Amino acid sequence: MEKLASEMMSENVTVGVTLDSQAAVKKAVKNLGVLGKGLMQNLASGTELKEATSPGNHKGSCYMAVGDNHVGFFTVKQGLFKNSLGEMLAKHPRSEVKALEIEAGMMSTVHVVLQDGTHYVLLCAKMNQKALQKVKELFA
């Protein structure tokens, strides 16, 4: 999927991870006051956090691709043997990602906060944890 994401974003994609948005937004809205310490510390500089959402308000699986200069979010088409990328949901400059925090759990909750306060909340399955850690390292 990284190759197709690279073509669609017109730049080299370093790493990507498949995430789920269905239940994450509901959970985040319910627990908005209980965000991780790291996320709140990263936002201490005055960014007002907007309501939790998913890229393009998409319900279902999406692919987060981190390129040299941008972060892209794509729909994921479920295939019989292999998944593939669908349409681009959102594309943001990497420099706009103010915080990327991971809350541990059966399915890790991923918070992506942009400079304008946009707050994406997604879930990551155990089998995608290594890719998610690589994404996290790029924003450390």
pLDDT at residue 44, as a whole number: 47
Q: Which CATH class is domain 2-138?
A: mainly beta
pLDDT digits 0-9 by tens, 9-68: 999 999 999 998 865 555 555 555 445 545 555 554 566 778 888 899 998 899 999 999
Summarised one tens digit per residue, pLDDT across range 71-119 is 999 999 888 888 889 999 999 999 999 989 888 877 888 999 999 989 9
Structural domain boundaries of the chain?
Answer: 2-138
pTM of this prediction? Answer: 0.83
Over residues 123-128, mean pLDDT: 91
Give the per-residue SS3 of the chain.
CHHHHHHHHCCCEEEEEEEECCCHHHHHHHCHHHCCHHHHHHCCCCCCCCCEECHHHCCCEEEEEEECCEEEEEEEECCCCCCEEEEEEEEEEHHHEEEEEEECCCCEEEEEEECCCCEEEEEECHHHHHHHHHHHHHCC
**What is the structure's pLDDT at 34?**
47
pLDDT for res 136 = 94
- Give the pLDDT of residue 132: 94
